[in-house]
Amino acid sequence: RCNGMIGDSQSLPPRADVVQFYKTNGISAMRIYAPDPETLRALDVDGTGIDLMMDVGNGNLSALASDPGLAASWVQENVLPYPRVSIKYIAAGNEVVGGDTQNIVPAINNLNNALAKAGITSVKVSTAVKMDVLSSSSPPSAGVFKDAYMTEVTQLLKSTGAPLLANVYPYFAKRDTPSIDLSFALFQQSPNPVHDDGNGLTYTNLFDAMVDALYTAMEKADASDVPIVVSESGWPSAGDDLATLTNAQTYNQNLIDHVGKGTPKRPVPLETYIFAMFNENQKEGPDTERNFGLFNGPDKTPVYPIRFTG
């Protein structure tokens, strides 16, 4: 689950309480969007059993790309002091756009070198992308990367064994393309399953179609063996006509129940992080951005009932 932190004390519980809440609910993976010492200290306890995806923070990307020494310092400050934190992935950038995309590969290289020099071999460094890295995604067999930098990124991941981190949101696709059937977006029985003549597969939900479009793009970039980890997916519960409690509960519960089966193209369990654990009352943008949480803070009451075992 993604533990966003753009909120005040009226919106978010204390960090240590959040870690305990993950443990209590049997949630075994967390994503944080920048190194947060308080969260890292809470995780640095024997037996938390929580794997961590930690972003470097987009503001640090260009510096980490241009300065190997800074990458070494970043590892010294944010990884080595917490030996009992099970850091699984480091995300060098989240949904990076524009000229900053040229910083992704050198930042990953510098971080990989810094980790290796520190004797850390268990952490995979990647970057988190959104669906607009594709110039085409429908049908899934038409998936192709829009820009050359993504081929460089996927080739690097191929060489290191790291996954591509992808933020996959059927909610935004449905919002921006009203003709998409809502039941298709919510993993419900759709009256119009999509047959892809290009790959011979049939799609009963939009999430699978989006992920398989990314897999297709990686095949075309000669990186078919790079796995995907869904680093964000979710549905807001308030803020527009699509963002209802019923739709949010339906999507997120069906997502939890579904990802263990994988996609038509890759029918193996798909590691997936739900965005977000808590509503964040200080996020910018439309009201929906503040209403992706599964729980309210600081009392940790559920926004709607949810089961965490699929």
- What CA–CA distance (Å, rounded) separates 221 from 75? 30
Q: Which two three-digit tokens encode residue 227?
A: 């796995």
Q: What is the C-alpha separation between 77 and 293, in angstroms, rounded?
A: 30
What pLDDT sits at residue 4? 86
* Catalytic position from the list 38, 152, 232, 289: 232
| pLDDT at residue number 256 | 97
pLDDT at 260: 97
Please name the residues in contact with 280: beta carbons below 8 A apart, sequence gap of 6 or more. 4, 5, 6, 7, 11, 12, 289, 290, 292, 293
**Structure confidence at residue 310 (pLDDT):** 54
- Contacts (Cβ under 8 Å, ≥6 apart) of 34: 54, 55, 56, 57
- What pLDDT, on a 0 to 100 scale, did the predictor assign at position 121? 95
- β-strands 124-130, 86-94: how paired? parallel
Separation CA 112–CA 298 (nearest Å): 37
Q: Which of 95, 152, 219, 289 is catalytic?
A: 95
Mean pLDDT for back-to-back runs of 10 residues, the chain (310 residues): 84 89 94 96 90 95 98 98 97 97 98 98 98 97 98 98 98 97 93 93 97 98 98 98 98 97 98 96 95 92 90
Instruction: Give the amino acid at 284.
Output: E
Phi (first) and psi of residue 278, to 5 degrees: -130, 150
Q: Which residues contact 246 (CB under 8 A, 6 or more apart)?
A: none
Q: Which amino acid is at 288?
A: T
Question: CB count, 10 Å around CB of 281?
Answer: 16
Residue 232 annotated among the catalytic residues of the structure = yes
**What are the structural domains, with CATH classification, of the chain?**
15-295 (3.20.20.80)
> Half-sphere exposure of 14 toward its Cβ, with a 13 Å CA cutoff?
6
Please, are residues 106 and 66 in contact by the beta-carbon 8 Å criterion? yes
H or E element in which residue 220 lies: helix 206-220
| Distance, CA of 124 to CA of 140 (rounded, Å) | 27
Q: Residue 140's pLDDT is what?
A: 98
164: left (phi over 0), alpha (psi -120 to 50) or beta: beta
Half-sphere exposure of 308 (CA within 13 A, CB side): 16
Q: What is the C-alpha to C-alpha distance for residues 143 and 129, in angstroms, rounded to an integer? A: 14
The reply to whether 95 belongs to the active site is yes
pLDDT at 297: 81
Strands 228-233 and 272-274: parallel
pLDDT of 289: 97
Asked whether 6 and 282 are in contact (CB, 8 A), the reply is: yes
Collapse the DSSP code of 88 into the 3-class scheme (helix H, G, I; strand E, B; otherwise coil) and give the result. strand
